[in-house]
């Protein structure tokens, strides 16, 4: 189906960005800028919801909504359209990106008030929405890459938003350069895809004569064998690995995660929007979009799963020992992204997307909450100088409480369902993408351990921030604030104690909405095993919606969606909105769930809950008494990874560039060569200059000589001068 409204979703924020950049900078009126920025995203949100849910919309039929704007590049067989497509996957993504994005925009209006670069901030933020939605709604790899680079650029601009701070600039550069490594993989993956399939489109579009690259790969009957050689064989596995390198850069996985903690140098709404809810999940989106490729490349899936699990655990341990409230959340984000990749690697693509959505809710909530705290604390973000804030900031506290419970995995809250889903899929994963069955148990153990650590460090964060003694009253100790250094100088001129205060409604209202979503958002994906426990038979909306557009792992656990292409809940519209679907009694075929499986899933859910509760209790007991407990140095210093990178990668490259490339190759070889040529040209030019004496008689003589030379040439050689030429 073709619908031109689709392009409005991406162009509304672009228009907002343009208006704020050109008009907002003149007007300098915060109200105007804020309304334009939020209004632009609101338009996107409304259009996205309309196109997704109207009759025959993206989420209600198997046909994607297309909007083919123009043919962008066509060279021989290579064709890239500037075309958008909203299918169930991109539709789901567009919905939460626009909605969460809108809330964060509203929050930012409050957070950024009286900032010098207000217009610049919102122009960039809108530009980011444009790029992110282009990434999501692109109907081919190349346009997706445009969005991919666009979000990278906006991320760079916004991390470095505080242009007068060196660490912000450094962090921005680090983010950009690290992402370039990933982009290399992505581009190579796209090229290899085109090389193998002759197409870069995600969808079949017969009207334009475009065939889908993904369908072509899915049509290849053979699945690459599970061998390590397949990675370098130049086949589907190579594509999958290259694309994963791209995803690892954007989604901060080992070894390319180092930029994300530093990216916290940007304003907090940026951290919430870009570095928690949306951009960093682009890697997950890309992999799920390419699920047809991954399900043909088990080796690549194994790599994804292992990297994901390793990242999850690794980042969680570091998060345990950070003192900067945003750094804790940054490492938590990396860790949660690891979960998503773990799920992807095991073929549980829907579970990954489910976790992306719930994570967008609760992590945006936690980041905005921390922003509210930082705002209330007058730009203090070291948790050692906080404490006892729940009295001063009741709304922030209450909302962050739900975020905390959600991320820890307490039942009812959103995070529980998605995380439990991933853990269950891990436990019960087949051997399609794993070398042997024990691997699934080992990966599950890492996941469970990470869940425990998550509960512990989140409890630590909450306790240090909201409970305990009011440490901000103590005299500002010149603590070494581990290079976080986001202190507004304007607030440092006097060292008097600032009373913390609750934030204005513009900031708390989005918190409340996100808190509600963090609480009930999980109900869109309640598995049968848990729903039936309560005597209900809820529909697993997320699986039903995404199931038809995502490739299945052959021979592995099938996801439990019914065969019908049309989800059940759509043919019988529920009375309530999607936020409270649990009370809609739609019968799911119990036959598709064996009793043994249901039993196992319930048991594992119980274990997850136990782990979460254990983690919270553990954290409470330790940190309630000793909130400033010193944790192992190696954790606080992030395993010295930055230092190791400096020593092994960055310094050698610097030295090699300086001593070798510059001093020897550039100066010696290139310059020497060019200077010689330049001298020749210059001498030639001077010689020509001498001819130009300024006398008309000389000029006329030269013209005559020229004409005579031509005539002489033909007179001598006769006609058909072409014969003489090669």
Partner 1 sequence: MFLLQANTTALFNVADLQLIAPELILTVCACLALVMEVILPYRKSKLVAWFSLLGVGLAFVSLGLQWWSVADSLPLDGFYGMVRIDGFALLFKAIFLVGAALAIAISTRYLDIEGEQHGEYYALVLFATVGMMFLACGYDLIVLYISLELMALTFYVLVAFTKREKRSNEAAMKYFLLGAFSSGILLYGMSLLYGIAGSTNLGEIGHSVAAIVSATPLGEATGPSLRPMLLLGMIALAAGLFFKIAAVPFHMWAPDAYEGAPTSVTAFLSTGSKAASFALYARIFIEAMNSMRADWAPLLGLVAAITIMVGNWAAVTQENSKRLLAYSSISNAGYLLLGLVAGNSYGYTGLMIYLLVYTLMNMGAFGIVISLRRRGIIGDNVDDMAGLAQKAPGMAAMMTIFMLSLGGLPITGGFIGKYFLFGGLLQRGAAEGKSWYYWLAGWAIINTVVSFYYYIRFIKVMYLGDRIADDKPLALSPALQTALGVSVAGIIFIGVYPQPLINLTQKLIAPLAAIGAVALK
Contacts with partner 1, residue ranges (CB under 8 A): 71, 678, 681-682, 684-686, 688-689, 691-692, 694, 696, 698-700, 702-703, 705-707, 710-711, 714, 719-726
- Nearest CB to partner 1, comparing residues 606 and 698: 698
Nearest distance, CB of residue 698 and partner 1, angstroms: 8
**Cβ contact 264:325 at 8 Å:** no
- Nearest CB to partner 1, comparing residues 672 and 706: 706
- Nearest CB to partner 1, comparing residues 219 and 678: 678
Mapped onto helix, strand or coil, the DSSP state of residue 75 is: strand
Residue 465 CA from chain centroid, whole number:
28
Mapped onto helix, strand or coil, the DSSP state of residue 96 is: helix
Beta bridge partners of 85: 66
- Nearest CB to partner 1, comparing residues 232 and 699: 699
CB 639: neighbour CB atoms within 10 A? 13
Nearest distance, CB of residue 241 and partner 1, angstroms: 31
In angstroms, rounded to a whole number, what is the distance separating the alpha carbons of residues 451 and 471? 29
Which tokens hold the place of 622?
């330790």
In angstroms, rounded to a whole number, what is the distance separating the alpha carbons of residues 360 and 93? 10
- Nearest CB to partner 1, comparing residues 36 and 143: 143
- Nearest CB to partner 1, comparing residues 206 and 685: 685
- Nearest CB to partner 1, comparing residues 652 and 706: 706
- Nearest CB to partner 1, comparing residues 655 and 711: 711
- Nearest CB to partner 1, comparing residues 669 and 705: 705
What Å distances lie between residue 618 and 457, 566, 612, 623, CA to CA? 10, 46, 10, 9
- Nearest CB to partner 1, comparing residues 412 and 701: 701
Nearest distance, CB of residue 430 and partner 1, angstroms: 49
Residues 6+ apart with CB under 8 A from 646: none
H helices of 626-640, in order, are 633-636
Q: Any idea which residue has 């998060």 for tokens?
A: 319
Nearest distance, CB of residue 37 and partner 1, angstroms: 26
- Nearest CB to partner 1, comparing residues 198 and 678: 678
Nearest distance, CB of residue 156 and partner 1, angstroms: 21
DSSP one-letter code for 224: P
Give 168: exposed, middle or buried? Use CB within 10 Å, 0-12, 13-18, 19+. buried
Q: Is 28 left (phi over 0), alpha (psi -120 to 50) or beta?
A: left
H or E segment to which residue 67 belongs: strand 65-75
Nearest distance, CB of residue 711 and partner 1, angstroms: 6
In angstroms, rounded to a whole number, what is the distance separating the alpha carbons of residues 538 and 184? 44
**Cβ contact 58:91 at 8 Å:** yes
Nearest distance, CB of residue 721 and partner 1, angstroms: 5
**Cβ contact 336:363 at 8 Å:** yes
In angstroms, rounded to a whole number, what is the distance separating the alpha carbons of residues 403 and 363? 7
- Nearest CB to partner 1, comparing residues 664 and 710: 710
**Cβ contact 151:274 at 8 Å:** yes
Residue 486 CA from chain centroid, whole number:
23
- Nearest CB to partner 1, comparing residues 77 and 633: 77
- Nearest CB to partner 1, comparing residues 662 and 714: 714
Nearest distance, CB of residue 354 and partner 1, angstroms: 40
DSSP one-letter code for 719: S
Give 344: exposed, middle or buried? Use CB within 10 Å, 0-12, 13-18, 19+. buried
Among 341, 321, 369, which residue's Cα sits nearest to residue 443? 341
- Nearest CB to partner 1, comparing residues 206 and 726: 726
Query: Is cis: bond before 255, omega within 30 of 0?
Result: yes
Nearest distance, CB of residue 714 and partner 1, angstroms: 5
DSSP one-letter code for 212: B
Q: Any idea which residue has 């009207």 for tokens?
A: 207
Which tokens hold the place of 620?
């409470």
Nearest distance, CB of residue 75 and partner 1, angstroms: 12
Nearest distance, CB of residue 719 and partner 1, angstroms: 6
Residues 6+ apart with CB under 8 A from 368: 103, 104, 107, 268, 269, 272, 507, 510, 511, 514
Nearest distance, CB of residue 672 and partner 1, angstroms: 17
Nearest distance, CB of residue 27 and partner 1, angstroms: 20
Nearest distance, CB of residue 704 and partner 1, angstroms: 9
φ and ψ of 495, to 5 deg? -100, 20
Nearest distance, CB of residue 683 and partner 1, angstroms: 9
In angstroms, rounded to a whole number, what is the distance separating the alpha carbons of residues 202 and 64? 11
Residues 6+ apart with CB under 8 A from 587: 537
């Amino acid at each position: 189906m073709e619908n031109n409204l689709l392009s409005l979703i991406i162009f509304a924020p672009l228009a907002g960005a343009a208006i704020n950049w050109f008009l907002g900078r003149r007007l300098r009126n915060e109200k105007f800028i804020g309304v334009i920025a939020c209004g632009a995203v609101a338009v996107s949100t409304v259009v996205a919801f309309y196109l997704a849910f109207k009759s025959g919309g993206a989420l209600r039929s198997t046909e994607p909504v297309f909007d083919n704007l123009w043919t962008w590049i066509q060279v021989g067989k290579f064709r890239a359209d500037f075309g958008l497509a909203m299918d169930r996957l991109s539709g789901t993504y567009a919905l939460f990106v626009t909605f969460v994005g809108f809330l964060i925009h509203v929050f930012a209006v409050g957070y950024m008030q009286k900032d010098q670069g207000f217009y610049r901030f919102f122009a960039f933020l809108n530009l980011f929405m444009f790029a992110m939605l282009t990434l999501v709604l692109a109907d081919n790899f190349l346009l997706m890459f445009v969005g991919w680079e666009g979000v990278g650029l906006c991320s760079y601009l916004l991390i470095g938003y505080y242009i007068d701070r060196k660490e912000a600039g450094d962090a921005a550069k680090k983010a950009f350069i690290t992402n370039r490594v990933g982009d290399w993989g992505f581009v190579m993956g796209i090229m290899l895809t085109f090389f193998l399939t002759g197409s870069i489109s995600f969808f079949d579009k017969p009207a334009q004569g475009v065939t889908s690259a993904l369908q072509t790969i899915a049509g290849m009957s053979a699945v690459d064998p599970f061998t390590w050689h397949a990675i370098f064989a130049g086949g589907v596995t190579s594509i999958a690995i290259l694309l994963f390198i791209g995803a690892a850069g954007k989604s901060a996985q080992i070894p390319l995660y180092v930029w994300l903690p530093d990216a916290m140098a940007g304003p907090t709404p940026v951290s919430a929007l870009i570095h928690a809810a949306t951009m960093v999940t682009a890697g997950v989106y890309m992999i799920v979009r390419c699920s047809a490729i991954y399900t043909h490349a088990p080796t690549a899936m194994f790599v994804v799963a292992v990297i994901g699990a390793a990242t999850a655990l690794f980042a969680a341990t570091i998060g345990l020992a950070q003192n900067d409230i945003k750094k804790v959340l940054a490492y938590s984000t990396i860790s949660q992204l690891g979960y998503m990749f773990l799920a992807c690697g095991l073929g549980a693509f829907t579970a990954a997307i489910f976790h992306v959505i719930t994570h967008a809710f609760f992590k945006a909530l936690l980041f905005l909450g921390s922003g509210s705290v930082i705002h209330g604390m007058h730009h203090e973000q070291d948790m050692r100088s906080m404490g006892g804030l729940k009295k001063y900031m009741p709304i922030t506290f209450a909302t962050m409480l739900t975020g905390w419970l959600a991320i820890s995995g307490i039942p009812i809250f959103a995070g529980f369902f998605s995380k439990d889903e991933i853990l269950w899929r891990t436990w019960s994963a087949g051997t399609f993408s794993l070398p042997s069955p024990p691997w699934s148990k080992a990966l599950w153990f890492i996941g469970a351990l990470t869940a425990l650590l998550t509960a512990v460090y989140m409890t630590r964060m909450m306790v240090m921030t909201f409970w305990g003694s009011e440490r901000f009253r103590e005299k500002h100790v010149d603590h070494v604030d581990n290079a976080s250094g986001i202190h507004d100088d304007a607030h440092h001129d006097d060292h008097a104690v600032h009373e913390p205060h609750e934030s204005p409604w513009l900031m708390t209202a989005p918190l409340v909405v996100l808190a509600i979503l963090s609480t009930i958002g999980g109900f869109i994906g309640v598995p049968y095993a848990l729903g039936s426990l309560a005597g209900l038979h809820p529909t697993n909306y997320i699986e039903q919606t995404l199931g038809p557009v995502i490739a299945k792992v052959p021979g592995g656990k099938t996801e439990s969606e019914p065969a019908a292409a049309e989800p059940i809940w759509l043919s019988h519209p529920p009375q309530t909105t999607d936020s409270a679907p649990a009370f809609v009694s739609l019968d799911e075929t119990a036959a598709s769930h064996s009793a043994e499986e249901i039993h196992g899933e319930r048991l594992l859910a119980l274990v997850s809950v136990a782990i979460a509760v254990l983690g919270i209790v553990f954290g409470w007991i330790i940190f309630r008494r000793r909130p400033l407990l010193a944790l192992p140095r190696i954790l606080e210093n992030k395993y010295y990874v930055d230092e190791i990178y400096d020593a092994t990668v960055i310094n050698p490259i610097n030295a090699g560039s300086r001593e070798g490339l510059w001093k020897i190759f550039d100066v010696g070889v290139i310059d020497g060569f060019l200077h010689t040529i330049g001298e020749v040209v210059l001498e030639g030019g001077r010689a020509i200059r001498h001819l130009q004496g300024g006398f008309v008689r000389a000029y006329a003589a030269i013209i005559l000589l020229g004409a005579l030379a031509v005539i002489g040439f033909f007179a001598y050689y006769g006609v058909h001068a072409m014969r003489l030429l090669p």
